Chains A and B, each alone.
Chain A
Amino acid sequence: MIPRTRNPEPVLITCTALLFAAAVYAVFFHAPAERVMGLVQKIFYFHLSCALVAFLSFTTACISGVAYLVSRDLKWDVLGAAAVEIGLVFTTLVLATGMLWGRPVWNAWWTWDPRLTTSLILWFIFAAYFILRAAVEKRQQRAAYCAVMAIAGFVDVPIVFLSARLWRSIHPVVIRADGVNMAPPMLTALLVSLAAFAALWGVLLRRRVRILAMAEQIRILEHRLDREPAQARRARY
């Protein structure tokens, strides 16, 4: 049965909230403003943290895809779907913050910066993951197909990044903000926000997996309910 006692979650949520408070403090008060770009550079901390969460999610999706294909255990499929969903949400945030950060610095909403392009293509791949998930009825077939999609998507990342970098090598190489060496307080701010987002990722993944498992349980119960009355009736006659 699904453990519906929620005791671990509040503890996790409070600890994540604390980490977030520390991160906000570190980013806004502890870390100095960056000389060249000024305040706007502070977007970078959470921008990179979102990217970390997205990367963690897609790695989990790939690993659970391989695990499903090997073990054929549907719990891996549930974990994979939860991970991809979180990954998609945070990739959207990465793109949003990337553009909002790029606009003032390079006065263009979108630059074909290799990392941003990779995030964009990743966004399409894992959006396609959900389109595929909606197109297949049988659970085991859907799980196998989605596992392959998650693996293919993850395997594609290095190639996308490599080709985006090669693609750009024609354009003049723009000085990249994070290339600037980080003053120690900046580094601590970055590390704290990375930790906060990693904790957040843990909470979201746990919750999403429980929700998907609950939905599956409901489907099974409904299925049994549809059959139950028929058998009950026959037994009586």
Chain B
Amino acid sequence: MNSTFFLIAAYLAIWAGIFGYLLVTGRHQQRLARRLEMLEERISRTEAGQ
């Protein structure tokens, strides 16, 4: 029945949407966390250097 094709397509769409969003936000979070640590470390170095 071709309607199962649409069922599968719909579920794929939902999984793709959810996991895609989780993946993107996860990677984004790691990138920001690394950048935050690097910045804090530079701040503490300049404050110590003063």
Contacts and interface: CB of A to CB of B under 8 A. Distances in A.
Chains A and B are bound partners:
yes
Given A214-B29, A235-B50, A50 B1 contact: no
Nearest to A215: B32
Interface in B1-48: 1-4, 6-7, 9-11, 13-14, 17-18, 21-22, 25-26, 28-29, 32-33, 35-36, 39-40, 42-43, 46-47
B6 to A, nearest CB: 5
Contacts of B36: 2, 4, 214, 217-218, 221
Contacts of A217: 36
Contacts, number: 89
A51 to B, nearest CB: 12
Nearest to A38: B3
A166 interface: no
Main secondary structure, interface of A, reads helix
Nearest to B35: A218
A104 B7 CA distance: 10
Nearest to A13: B22
Main secondary structure, interface of B, reads helix
Given A92-B17, A218-B35, A224-B43, A211 B25 contact: yes
Interface of B: 1-4, 6-7, 9-11, 13-14, 17-18, 21-22, 25-26, 28-29, 32-33, 35-36, 39-40, 42-43, 46-47, 49-50
Interface of A: 2, 4, 37-40, 42-43, 46-47, 50, 89-90, 92-93, 96-97, 100-101, 103-104, 200, 204, 207-208, 210-211, 214-215, 217-218, 221-222, 224-225, 228-229, 232, 235
List the 8 closest pairs (A to B, CB-CB), nearest first.
A40-B3, A104-B3, A100-B10, A43-B10, A221-B39, A214-B32, A93-B17, A96-B13
19 contacts: A38-B3, A39-B3, A39-B4, A39-B7, A43-B7, A46-B11, A50-B14, A89-B21, A93-B17, A96-B13, A97-B14, A100-B9, A101-B10, A204-B22, A207-B25, A221-B36, A221-B43, A229-B46, A232-B49
